[in-house]
Amino acid sequence: MGKIRCAVVGVGNCFAGLVQGIEYYRLHPEQQVIGVMHPVMGGYSIYDIDFVAAFDVDSKKVGNPLNEAVYSEPNKVKWVEKLVQMKDVTVKQSPQLDGVGMYVKKVVTPVTERPLEELRKEVMKEIKDKKVEILVSYLPVGSDKATKFWAQTCLDAKIGFVNCMPSFIASEPEWAKKFEKAGLPIIGDDIKGQVGATIVHRTMARLCDERGTKIEKTYQINVGGNTDFLSMKEQERLASKKISKTESVQSQLSQRLPDERIYVGPSDFIPFLGNTKLMFMRIEGRMWANIPYNMEVRLEVDDKANSAGIVIDAIRYCRIALDRKIAGPLIGPSAWLMKHPPEQFSDDQAKKMAEEFASGPGKKE
């Protein structure tokens, strides 16, 4: 099968987890590939994903080989000692725009900003020279302007887009139409972790709802110690993340909860947790004869393994769509893999739609 030629914008912890995970399986061929829904999908294995270009703003990453940049502070993923792939890929400069938040400035020192048009030309040249087919965005929360720059770059360069973060592109009708018109696929927005806070909360909320109880209030609190959580300390950057996470839960209820009865959000940064994310969820409701009940869930998970196990599929869905010339937002795969897709479904239904998409007509033999 052909390789999937990808570029990444945001060489942070999520990207480090994705590529170190692939390398981990390369180094351990005796091991069964676990932690992924499809070792092979549409003819593409996890080893068919190649990162041939990369963009960031951090002076510790820009200008360095990608296999080394992945290990630069403040990245914390170290699942394999070193990466042998990607040593010929040099991290190029991305426009900073609104990418680096006030708390993150303490750990990320951006390279000197250059005129946007100059950078746009360089970016386009790199994408063309490297024959990139798909861009994966791991930009920080709150980077709405930078996300729009990169979404437009995908349209101009005629490549697919996997939007892992919560600035709305696939789920924003105006942008969705642009991708459709350009004949390009897009998956988004905001990764729904493999066994993450969102899917667990959605599942429990739906269970309570479908079993006929009435949910009266619910909350989900998340804490972690990586750069993403540091970035999310800044409330102003959080607007779309909160919408993405809250709507993902609301969409599973037969009746929406009033806003004051649902709280879902990243809540604090605890440095020593590193990439460990803790989620605390509570549902309070009433059952037969108006009798009250409540439920609490505590989830402890590596945030980056949680995201990579999903992105490994998102990239391949995007490539299958390119192969089949399917344009616009991929409805089933986005609903299954993302928190804020263009259309919400139950997770059962979304999974069925995504599976049908992967194995449907036009499948690569």
Ligand X SMILES: NC(=O)c1ccc[n+]([C@@H]2O[C@H](COP(=O)([O-])OP(=O)(O)OC[C@H]3O[C@@H](n4cnc5c(N)ncnc54)[C@H](O)[C@@H]3O)[C@@H](O)[C@H]2O)c1
Give the binding range for ligand X (CB under 6 A) out of 88-96, 170-178, 199-207, 288-296.
88-96
Which of 310, 97, 96, 38 shows the shortest CA–CA distance to 188? 310
Dihedral over alpha carbons 350, 351, 354, 356 (to 10 degrees): -110
Residue choice 4, 6, 8, 14 for contact with ligand X (CB under 6 A): 14
Residue choice 70, 123, 135, 164 for contact with ligand X (CB under 6 A): 164
Give the binding range for ligand X (CB under 6 A) out of 29-37, 43-51, 141-149, 350-358.
141-149
Check binding of 328 to ligand X (CB under 6 A). no
C-beta atoms surrounding 356 within 10 Å: 11
Q: How far is the C-alpha of 177 from the C-alpha of 24, rounded, in Å? A: 38
Determine the size of the site formed for ligand X (CB under 6 A): 38
Check binding of 144 to ligand X (CB under 6 A). no
Of 103 and 217, CB closest to ligand X = 103
Which residue sits closest to ligand X, CB atoms considered? 12
CB 303 within 8 A of CB 228: yes
DSSP tag of 91: E
Check binding of 108 to ligand X (CB under 6 A). yes
**What angle separates helix 347-359 from helix 197-210, to the nearest 10 degrees?**
120
Check binding of 188 to ligand X (CB under 6 A). no
Check binding of 96 to ligand X (CB under 6 A). yes
User: What are the residues facing 185 on neighbouring strands?
Assistant: 328
Check binding of 97 to ligand X (CB under 6 A). yes
Burial of 34 (0-12, 13-18, 19+ CB in 10 A): exposed
Of 150 and 208, CB closest to ligand X = 150
Cα 110 to Cα 58, 59, 60, 313, distances in angstroms: 4, 5, 9, 31
CB of 174 to ligand X, least distance (A): 21
Restricting to residues 274-303, which ones interact with ligand X according to CB under 6 A?
303
Q: Which residues bind ligand X (CB under 6 A)?
A: 9-15, 55-58, 94-97, 99-100, 108, 138-141, 143, 146, 164-165, 190-191, 193, 196, 226-228, 231, 303-304, 306-307
